[in-house]
Amino acid sequence: MKMVTRDFLLGMVLGACSLAVQTSYAVTGVSSECAIGVAGKFAIKEYKNKMVSVCPADGGGDCLYTVTYGKTFVDSRIHLNSDHLNDYVIKDFSTGYGNDDVAHFMLFAQCRDGNFVQVVDDFFTTVKPDAMDRMTGWLKLRVTRDCYSESIGDTQERSYTIVFDPKRKKYGPPDSNPKLTHYCSDAELALPADSASTPE
């Protein structure tokens, strides 16, 4: 009985340590950005029909994503890390992208002062939560890009995973491949498309 109790307590301690490490990674991931006052942070305000404004928190500079333009929307609210604060997945339609079926996605992690730091600025078709990365304490994200292929005269979907890079304090390129930094590039079009989305 003593052995069982000791093993149980040891398991509880190890589990708590593991959770503490994950939380520490998550907090330190953007702690320096969150600790610098309002400079470099963003203030996000929601309106009806999921419209939002995303403006510099210090009030300086131009507010490029404002409800006045009516082209920036909340895609989802998720927990990007283990700090229990609500984060934003925002989709912007300010410009067109030709035949590529993508949109401008911006992801923002919330600081404890209520402002946000940007951790993703990229172009995707969809962004969905995946599993928590135990090494960083940040959520892995499953993303897709529907890129136009001249050879078939239609778009083709490709799926990737993006993960948080603690050194850069942002999410990295799809599948951690620098060649996929720019959306629908020749390097991306050379990759196999998802079989389910490829026309017969």
2 vs 64, more confident: 64
Contacts 24+ apart (CB under 8 A), 121-127: 121/170, 122/162, 122/171, 122/173, 122/183, 123/97, 123/183, 123/184, 124/183, 125/101, 125/157, 127/75, 127/76, 127/89
* Per-residue confidence (pLDDT) for residue 195, from 0 to 100: 65
> pLDDT confidence of 196, banded at 50, 70, 90?
low
43-55 confidence digits (pLDDT tens): 999 999 999 999 9
**Every domain of the chain and the residues it spans:** 2-197
pLDDT greater than 50 at residue 13: no
Q: Residue 12's pLDDT band (boundaries 50, 70, 90)?
A: very low
Task: Give pTM, 2 decimals.
Answer: 0.82
Q: What is the pLDDT of residues 172-193, one digit of tens each?
A: 999 999 999 999 999 999 999 9
